[in-house]
C-alpha cells in the first residue's frame, strides 16, 4: 500500500471505532515527517479529532508540588539527585496549591494535576486531594502523577476525590530509568482495576527512539485502557545524561501525535501534545498542558506558567486550529 492508502485506511478504522494494529502504527510512523504525505496524515488525524471529540479541546493544568532531589535518577529528569541540578529544595504548601488550582479552574482547566516526586508521602497526597475538594468547587477532574501504588491505594485515591492517574511505562524503562518495567506495569494494572481513569502519553520521546519502540509503548497504554494518550517530547537538559540527544523536530513530534490520534480512535478520545505545538494541534491533538511549579524538564521552581504558555495562550491555539474550548463543565 502507498502511504496515502495506509493513512486513509487508518482514518476509516479510527472513525469506525477500531484500534490500529502494531504494523499499521509503525507504517504511519515511517512516513517522512517533512513530506507532503505527513501533512495528509496530519489532516486525517484532525478529521478524526473532530469526530471523536465533538471538536472540543481542553487544558490539562499541572502543578509540580515538590521540588525535591529524587533518588531514582532517571536519565532525562532534572530532579535526579545524581545530576546535582537542584540547589535548593522546596515544596508548595496546601494553601499555595489550592490557590493555583482555584486560578486554573476559574480559567477553565478541565483537569488539574498534582505532580509529585516518586517518594511524596501517600497520606499527604490523600489529604491534599481532600483539602482541594473541600475548598475548590467545580466539575474539574483531579489527576495524580505520583509514584507506584497498588490496588488498595488506587481505591483510596478515588475515594479521596481523584478521577485520573497519569502513569506510563516510559520509553526505555529500565535502561534510561532505574525502575524495573514490571513495577511500572503493576501500577498500571492497579489503575485498570480501580475506578480511576488512566492518562498515558508516549514519553519521553527523543530522536533515538525507533518507530517500533514508540508503537510498543503506545500500545501498552491502550492495553491498560488509557482514556487519554498522545506524545511528550523529551526536553534535553544540560547536566542530565541524555542532554546530548537533541529534541524532536516539531514536525516529527506532530506526526507522532497524529499517529496516536489515528491509532487510539474512539478508545482514547483525548490526545495530548507536550510541550505545546501549534502544528500538533492542527494534526489532531486536542489537549495541551499548562504547567507550573517543579518541572522535571527544567531547573528551578517555576513561579509562573512554564515558558509563558498560559491558559489564554492555550485557548488561542485551540481557536486558531478550529476547536471549541471545553472546560469539562457542560457535558
Ligand atoms: S522522573 Fe520521577 S522517578 Fe525519575 S528522577 Fe524524576 S521524579 Fe524521580
- Determine whether the shortest distance from the Cβ of 118 to ligand 1 is under 6 A: yes
**3-state secondary structure at position 232:** strand
161 found inside a domain: yes
For 18, other C-beta atoms within 10 Å of its C-beta total 14
Q: Give a yes or no: residue 186 inside a domain.
A: yes
Predicted pLDDT at 139: 93
Q: What is the CATH number of the domain that holds 191?
A: 3.20.20.70
User: Rounded to a whole number, what is the distance in angstroms from the first to the last CA of the chain?
Assistant: 40
Ligand 1 centroid from CA 10, angstroms: 35
Question: Quick check: 206 and 242 in contact, CB under 8 A?
Answer: yes
Grid cell locating 94: 496546601
| CB < 8 Å & 24+ apart, contacts of 141-145 | 141/110, 141/111, 141/112, 141/328, 142/111, 142/112, 142/113, 142/114, 143/60, 143/62, 143/111, 143/112, 143/113, 143/114, 143/199, 144/113, 144/114, 144/116, 145/62, 145/113, 145/114, 145/115, 145/116
pLDDT exceeds cutoff 60 at 330: no
Crossing angle (nearest 10°) for helices 250-264 and 22-29: 160
Structure confidence at residue 104 (pLDDT): 97
Residue 287, helix vs strand vs coil: strand
pLDDT of amino acid 331: 43
Is 312 a member of any domain?
A: yes
- 258, 284 Cβ separation under 8 angstroms: yes
pLDDT higher than 70, residue 24 = yes
CA of 114 from ligand 1 middle (Å) equals: 14
- Give the pLDDT confidence of 256-314 residue by residue, as tens digits: 999 999 999 999 999 999 999 999 999 999 999 999 999 898 887 788 899 999 999 99
Q: Ligand 1 pocket, 69 CB below 6 A?
A: no
- Residues facing residue 288 across a β-bridge: 59, 273
**Cell reading at 226:** 488509557
Q: What is the DSSP letter of 236?
A: P
In contact, 272 and 117? CB cutoff 8 Å: no
Contact 162, 196 (CB under 8 A): yes
Q: Is ligand 1 within 6 A of the CB of residue 80? A: yes
CA atoms of 245 and 134, how far apart (whole Å): 44
**Cα of 72 from ligand 1 centre, angstroms:** 6
Whole-number pLDDT of residue 320 = 98
Structural domains in the chain (count): 1
pLDDT of amino acid 329: 62
Q: Is the CB of 74 under 6 A from ligand 1?
A: yes
DSSP string, 55-87: TEEEEEEEEE-EE--BTT--TT-TTBGGGT--S
Percentage above 90 pLDDT, the chain: 94
Q: Give the model confidence (pLDDT) of 264-278 as tens digits.
A: 999 999 999 999 999
Query: What whole-number distance in Å separates Cα of residue 131 and Cα of residue 45?
Result: 39
63 in a domain, yes or no?
yes
In contact, 83 and 240? CB cutoff 8 Å: yes
Q: Which domain holds residue 101?
A: 3-325
Query: How far is ligand 1, taken at its centre, from the CA of residue 52, in Å?
Result: 33
Atom of ligand 1 nearest to the CA of 77: 6
Residues making up the chain, counted from first to last: 331
Q: Let me know if residue 330 belongs to a domain.
A: no
Return the closest-CA partner of residue 324 out of 134, 108, 151. Answer: 108
The whole-number average pLDDT for the span 74-78 is 96
Q: Which atom of ligand 1 is nearest to the CA of 178?
A: 4
Residue 331 within any structural domain of the chain? no
CA of 147 to the centre of ligand 1 (A): 9
Nearest ligand 1 atom, CA 179: 3
| Mean pLDDT over the full length of the chain | 96
Phi, psi of 321 (to 5 degrees): -90, 5
Strands 301-302 and 287-294, by their bridges, are antiparallel
Decide which of 19 and 56 is more confident.
56
- Let me know: does 66 contact 120? Beta carbons within 8 Å: yes
Amino acid at each position: 500500500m502507498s502511504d496515502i492508502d495506509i493513512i486513509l485506511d487508518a482514518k476509516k478504522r479510527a472513525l469506525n471505532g477500531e484500534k490500529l494494529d502494531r504494523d499499521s502504527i509503525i507504517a504511519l510512523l515511517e512516513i517522512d515527517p517533512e513530506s507532503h504525505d505527513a501533512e495528509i496524515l496530519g489532516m486525517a488525524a484532525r478529521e478524526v479529532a473532530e469526530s471523536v471529540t465533538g471538536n472540543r479541546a481542553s487544558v490539562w493544568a499541572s502543578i509540580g508540588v515538590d521540588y525535591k532531589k529524587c533518588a531514582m535518577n532517571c536519565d532525562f529528569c532534572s530532579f535526579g539527585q545524581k545530576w546535582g541540578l537542584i540547589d535548593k529544595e522546596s515544596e508548595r504548601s496546601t494553601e499555595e496549591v489550592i490557590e493555583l488550582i482555584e486560578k486554573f479552574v476559574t480559567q477553565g482547566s478541565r483537569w488539574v494535576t498534582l505532580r509529585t516526586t516518586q517518594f511524596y508521602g501517600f497520606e499527604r497526597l490523600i489529604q491534599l486531594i481532600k483539602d482541594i475538594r473541600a475548598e475548590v468547587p467545580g466539575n474539574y477532574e483531579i489527576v495524580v502523577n505520583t509514584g507506584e501504588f497498588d490496588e488498595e491505594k488506587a481505591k483510596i485515591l478515588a475515594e479521596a476525590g481523584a478521577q485520573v492517574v497519569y502513569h506510563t511505562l516510559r520509553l526505555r524503562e529500565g535502561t534510561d530509568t532505574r525502575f524495573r518495567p514490571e513495577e511500572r506495569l503493576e501500577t498500571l494494572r492497579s489503575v485498570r482495576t480501580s475506578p480511576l481513569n488512566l492518562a498515558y502519553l508516549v514519553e519521553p520521546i527523543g530522536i533515538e527512539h525507533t518507530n517500533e519502540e514508540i508503537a510498543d509503548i503506545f500500545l501498552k497504554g491502550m492495553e491498560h485502557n488509557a482514556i487519554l494518550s498522545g506524545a511528550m517530547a523529551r526536553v534535553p537538559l544540560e547536566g542530565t545524561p541524555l542532554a546530548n540527544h537533541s529534541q524532536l523536530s516539531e514536525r516529527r513530534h506532530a506526526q507522532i501525535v497524529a499517529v496516536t490520534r489515528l491509532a487510539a480512535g474512539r478508545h482514547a478520545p483525548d490526545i495530548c501534545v507536550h510541550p505545546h505545538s501549534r502544528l500538533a494541534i492542527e494534526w489532531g491533538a486536542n489537549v495541551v498542558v499548562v504547567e507550573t511549579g517543579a518541572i522535571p524538564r527544567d531547573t528551578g521552581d517555576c513561579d509562573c506558567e512554564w515558558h509563558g504558555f498560559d491558559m489564554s495562550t492555550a485557548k488561542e491555539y485551540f481557536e486558531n486550529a478550529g476547536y471549541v474550548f471545553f472546560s469539562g463543565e457542560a457535558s
